């Protein structure tokens, strides 16, 4: 994954000590480098250590940012002193980047409040934010009003902001693939391509007839099929799985890979039952699990909005996402529930896993036609959950996001599963039902709820509930 790149603006105001800009610049750049960010910033040879104060400074900085617009994922405005509110807002307006903006202010030291060392960044930050509001430029605040850039709190804010930047950049140019029609029994996964397109998310479609036709033209002796078969066997335990089922999976996987590459997709959603099983003879779960684990999120039941949810958290964390059902209560504990799928969960979320057959639909289409699920228990781990949904009636996109933990509570069942603990879970469940959200939810074994909520609500313009 490439480094997240931030444009950095060091604010200055002439009648405040300019040496604070020199020291502040060095401190900020040091922390950004240590946290793995790349930066674009005026050279320190520019006026007042490369800070921005005048109209000309704003134009110079904006031109620099525009020349790196393809690289810049977000902008950090840092205030070693009060800062010139108009110059900072003008820089962002002139640059026209339309990326997330983080506003940071240094704190004063109570023993250094003379004219020589006093910052007044506490006050200046309010003026900067006031101007950004007037200019219609959305921005993100640090968790504390003023912060030492070397503090763990600011470093945590930077990591969340970096995730926000990656989500916004990725979603605004995302390409998703819908393979097969929505299963008739799943009205819940209806979605609006047009609303997604307005947010920069494009959807390509592929009929199952074409996919299975491509797969059936291949043979077990094809080099790509042999390679895919080896990848499957290396990925999961295949003991007891019929060779003919593994061959079908390999050929199907090659067909999916070819289409994804040709259409340059970032994620997919696949019709997983029951046409695939009845007319081709396997479930695609292992292939989807492998795709998600290699950071090509793949959602079942042609749930494109679910794939958007998975991809969002993959962008935030750089790790695989899973799509699950909010599935069962867990005993009498109101803050715990069982999460489950049959399953196509990525390997990285499992404590252990193996390939098996799909027990739910085996009774309908026959066990021999349902090999290929990945089953096992999820890791005991913190997680972020997320759901995106298109609200066609009101012409908007809705979402919810929050954090929880997968526990090691006793549970004996099948498929891919875990016990999830979410504080005030009943409030969340009421919100999901009251607002017509789907039963599917994306999980990622990371903690990026603040970053995702910020990306959705402030920068994508989506109606977002953050569960706390």
Measure the CA–CA gap between 120 and 125, rounded to whole angstroms. 9
Rounded to the nearest 5 degrees, what angle is found at the Cα of 66, between the Cα atoms of 61 and 72? Answer: 95
- Whether residue 340 is predicted with pLDDT greater than 80 in this model: the reply is yes
What are the tens digits of pLDDT across the range 412-429?
A: 999 999 999 999 999 999
Name the residue with tokens 């000309």. 56
User: Do 37 and 136 reside in the same domain of the chain?
Assistant: yes
User: Do 379 and 440 reside in the same domain of the chain?
Assistant: yes
Can you give the pLDDT at residue 44?
A: 87
User: Do 189 and 166 reside in the same domain of the chain?
Assistant: no
**Average pLDDT over the chain, rounded to whole?**
95
Strand 5-10, strand 38-40: pairing = parallel
Residue 441 belongs to domain with CATH number: 3.40.275.10
Q: Confidence class of residue 113 from pLDDT cuts 50, 70 and 90?
A: low
Q: What is the pLDDT averaged over residues 297-313?
A: 97
Q: What is the pLDDT averaged over residues 16-25?
A: 84
Q: Domain limits at 254?
A: 175-467
User: Do 433 and 349 reside in the same domain of the chain?
Assistant: yes
End-to-end CA separation in angstroms for the chain:
30
User: Do 42 and 125 reside in the same domain of the chain?
Assistant: yes
Where does a domain end: 151, 171, 191?
Answer: 171
Q: Confidence class of residue 393 from pLDDT cuts 50, 70 and 90?
A: very high
Quote the distance between the C-alpha of residue 369 and its chain's center: 34
Largest Cα–Cα separation, the chain: 82
Can you give the pLDDT at residue 19?
A: 81
User: Do 91 and 231 reside in the same domain of the chain?
Assistant: no
Q: What global pTM score does this model have?
A: 0.96
Where does a domain end: 124, 150, 171?
Answer: 171
- The residues facing 270 across adjacent strands are 179, 300
Burial of 114 (0-12, 13-18, 19+ CB in 10 A): exposed
User: Do 346 and 444 reside in the same domain of the chain?
Assistant: yes
What are the tens digits of pLDDT across the range 199-211?
A: 999 999 999 999 9
Query: Long-range CB contacts (< 8 A, 24+ apart) of 106-111?
Result: 106/20, 106/24, 106/78, 106/79, 106/80, 106/81, 106/146, 106/147, 106/148, 106/149, 107/146, 107/147, 107/148, 108/146
Q: What is the pLDDT averaged over residues 223-247?
A: 98
User: Do 59 and 22 reside in the same domain of the chain?
Assistant: yes
Residue 39 belongs to domain with CATH number: 3.40.50.10940
Give Cβ neighbours of residue 401 (< 8 Å, ≥ 6 apart). 384, 385, 386, 387, 449, 452, 453, 456, 464, 465, 466, 467
What are the tens digits of pLDDT across the range 31-85?
A: 999 999 999 999 988 777 889 999 999 999 999 999 999 999 999 999 999 889 9
């Amino acid at each position: 994954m490439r480094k997240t790149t931030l444009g950095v603006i060091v604010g200055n105001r002439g009648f405040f000590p300019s040496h604070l800009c020199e020291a502040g610049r060095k401190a900020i750049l040091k922390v950004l480098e240590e946290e793995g960010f790349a930066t674009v910033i005026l050279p320190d040879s520019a006026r007042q250590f490369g800070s921005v104060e005048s109209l000309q400074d704003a134009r110079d900085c904006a031109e620099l940012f525009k020349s790196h617009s393809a690289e810049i994922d977000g902008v950090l405005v840092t205030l070693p002193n009060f800062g010139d509110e108009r110059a900072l807002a003008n820089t962002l307006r002139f640059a026209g980047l339309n990326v997330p903006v983080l506003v940071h202010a240094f704190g004063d030291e109570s023993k250094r409040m003379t004219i020589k060392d006093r910052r007044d960044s506490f006050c200046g930050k309010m003026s900067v934010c006031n101007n950004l509001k007037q200019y219609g430029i959305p921005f993100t605040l640090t968790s504390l009003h003023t912060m030492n850039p070397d503090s763990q709190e600011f470093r945590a804010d930077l990591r969340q902001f970096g995730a926000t930047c990656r989500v916004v950049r990725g979603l605004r140019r995302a390409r998703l693939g819908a393979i097969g029609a929505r299963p008739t029994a799943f009205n819940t996964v209806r979605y609006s391509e047009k609303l997604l397109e307005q947010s920069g998310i494009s959807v390509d479609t592929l009929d199952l007839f074409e996919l299975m036709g491509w797969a059936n033209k291949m043979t077990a002796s094809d080099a790509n099929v042999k390679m895919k078969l080896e990848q499957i066997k290396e990925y999961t335990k295949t003991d007891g799985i019929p060779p003919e089922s593994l061959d079908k999976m390999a050929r199907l996987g090659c067909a999916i890979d070819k289409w994804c590459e040709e259409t340059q997709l970032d994620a997919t959603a696949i019709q997983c039952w029951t046409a695939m099983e009845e007319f081709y003879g396997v479930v695609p779960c292992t292939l989807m699990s492998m795709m998600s684990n290699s950071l090509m999120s793949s959602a079942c039941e042609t749930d494109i909005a679910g794939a958007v949810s998975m991809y969002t958290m993959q962008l935030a964390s750089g790790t695989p996402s899973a799509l699950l059902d909010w599935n069962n209560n867990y005993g009498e504990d109101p803050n715990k529930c069982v999460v489950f799928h049959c399953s196509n969960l990525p390997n990285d979320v499992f404590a252990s896993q193996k390939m098996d057959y799909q027990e739910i639909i085996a009774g309908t289409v026959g066990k021999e036609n349902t090999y290929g699920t990945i089953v096992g228990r999820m890791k005991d781990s913190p997680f972020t959950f997320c759901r995106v949904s298109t609200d066609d009636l009101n012409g908007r996109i809705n979402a919810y996001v929050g954090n929880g933990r997968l526990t090691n509570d006793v549970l004996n069942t099948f498929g891919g599963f875990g016990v999830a603990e979410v504080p005030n879970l009943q409030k969340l469940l009421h919100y999901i039902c009251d607002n017509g959200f789907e039963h599917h939810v994306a999980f990622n074994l990371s903690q990026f709820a603040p970053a995702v909520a910020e990306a959705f609500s402030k920068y994508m313009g989506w109606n977002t509930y953050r569960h706390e």
